[in-house]
Structure 1
Amino acid sequence: MKDAAEMYIPTFDDVRAAYERVKPHIHRTPVLRSSYLDGLTGAELFFKCENFQKAGAFKVRGASNAVFGLSDGEARKGVATHSSGNHALSLSYAAGRRGIPCHVVMPRTAPQAKKDAVRGYGGIITECEPSTSSREEYFARVHAETGADFVHPYNDPRVIAGQGTCSLELMEQMKDFGGGLDMVVAPIGGGGMISGTCLTLATIAPDVKVIAAEPEQADDAARSFRAGRIIADDAPETIADGLKVPLKELTWHFVSTYVADVLTASETEIVDAMKLIWQRMKIVMEPSSAVPLATILKNPDTFRGKRVGVIVTGGNVDLAKLPWMQA
């Protein structure tokens, strides 16, 4: 893997180009409010609801940018990736829209709802063990066999530029709410969404602080942030299945340069926040998407009196296995 100095670092021009490229293939997702949650947190919260996105997650933005940015010759062999779920189904969706194959390596423990969605979009799944090392080993085989274009779930300039279109929309939509934001909070796993958020806000709203939210049981980004270098865990265990992967060189560039802080929440706090949003806002979200609210509730002094954008990253959850239903 190249380090960030050797990789192409996307610019805001790439975000603008990505937005024009992906607009025909994505939803402009809504920004929702909750007076109850405002009162509970003491902040003004603006939820950017990517759980209403095509394929049920923000990752369709980066995946579509990568797929529709390929030349016809590059696209002929299809695309390939490894992913615990949302990138897999998003890339499968985008590949299906373009009519090309999509090969995906997924952990055998990935939620069945996400596996079903990948296959529903035409993706071809190879299962691996639930660790970064196994994922990369199996992917190397699939990639060698297919020759497909590798679209990394997050350590890819095309993907990061695509994810940056989410906060571009959010800032445009804030005009309908009488002004801008003081902070934006988003989940962090590999760092694709956070990197895209940093890329966009550093250009169009540099005074807005970017806060990353992470599970305590998969807190490698928080430890990396404090240590000043990437610290990677191979197989962390957390209910937030979309946040188990480590930072890579390109996303670390954005995290280390632009992120104001990385806050963490416990498994119980994540589940409580997820349930609260389901109850109060009546929207379906997955555990990874509840981590930002969990950290806001845990750190009230940081957010009180602030206007805070909260990126709800996805809604692909197995309805038969909701965490508060487990024995």
Structure 2
Amino acid sequence: MEDFTNWLPIEFEKSNSDYKVRWMHVGDKSFTKPFFYDSIQSLRHQNRPTKLTNLNALEHTHCSSTLPPTAFIFHTSRCGSTLMSQMLSQSQKHLVFSEPMIVDCVLKYHLNNEPNNVKIIRNVIKALGQRRNLAEKMFIKLDSWHISRIPLLRQAFPDTPFYLLYRSPLEILKSHQKQRGIQMVPGLVSLEELNLDNPRYHPADLDHYCLLVLKSFFLDALRYINDIKLINYTQLPNILWEAILPELDIELDTNELDDLRKRSSTHSKQQYSPFNGDQFDKEITLSEKATKTLNELSILYEKLCLQKSSVF
């Protein structure tokens, strides 16, 4: 059995009709950047060695010691999940992966109804969870379009807490108006991944498309409400140290808590830029169809706010 200690799976690559796993030797690298991709890119610039294996290598690799996932973090986009993962990453006791490409690859692979999906996702998470440095806990933040994959992940990890962050849909829309995420641009993320069935929108009406995507996210959140614990954007950042860490039986010392709180005062994606709240235009103009979808979303948002599965 080949020793894969300090090698992490980073993505799938398609070779003819088969999928291969691309691995990278990361050593004792701590993944503290806002996104997994950013950390991998910095390692690529260091010419870290990589290798390609078959999928079954995920099952037959040997790693010295691994951490089970402490929690999975889902989100509806632009609602504080990156900030939450960045705060968690301030402690050396935490191994935090923010939107790892390999997990997205596995969940895309799941769309093909391939066998052994549960086994594959378990093995990927196990390989990511190799114990490094002082790490005692592992957190995985997913992409926003992974809410629809909660049943697969719950089957793979029946006892792991799933947190879902959400926010006022109007505020999410205003954030995407300033800088569109890839999931809000038609064609960049497939309709199947977004769990959208033949959405009807004008190609030039990006706001309406964004709201249709959000509606899918919110409907999925309500559909799987019994599997998740809700966190409203308005509860951040205090809810992390007041409720979530105690709920997970995580104790941080004074210095770690200070670092965590300091990180909460800066921009989630730009660590050294102070954050004073999002600056949005008070009034926006939407098409009639977009307005109708926003009104429907507002009702779904209120339903989420009333759920007893919220974290207090």
Shared fold per TM-score greater than 0.5: no
Which structure's CA Rg is the greater one?
Answer: 2
TM-score (norm 2): 0.29
